[in-house]
Amino acid sequence: MDGTIRKNIKVGTKVLVVQKQDQRSGKLTEGVVQKLLTKSEVHPRGIKVMLEGGIVGRVKEIK
């Protein structure tokens, strides 16, 4: 599923995100969405979320 569309992502969804410091390498981090941080319905680089544990990143893939 597409991580650039906000309605595809809900609290409790398992996702793969890229953190700010990992954008160049493209390293993905897996986690469960705790909070949606992007307010707009669509974002070209991915919806920004906070995972359980406090990690913040942009959604690249929805599991």
- Model confidence pLDDT, tens digit, residues 51-60: 999 999 999 9
- Side chain identity, residue 52: E
Torsion of CA 46, 50, 53, 55, to 10 degrees: 50
Task: Give the predicted TM-score (pTM) of the model.
Answer: 0.92
d(CA 44, CA 32): 21
User: Structure tokens of 44?
Assistant: 């070209």
What is the CB-side half-sphere exposure of residue 58 using CA atoms within 13 A? 16
Q: Is it the case that residue 10 has pLDDT exceeding 90? A: yes
The reported pLDDT for the residue numbered 1 is: 81
**pLDDT tens-digit readout, 19-47:** 999 999 999 999 999 999 999 999 999 99
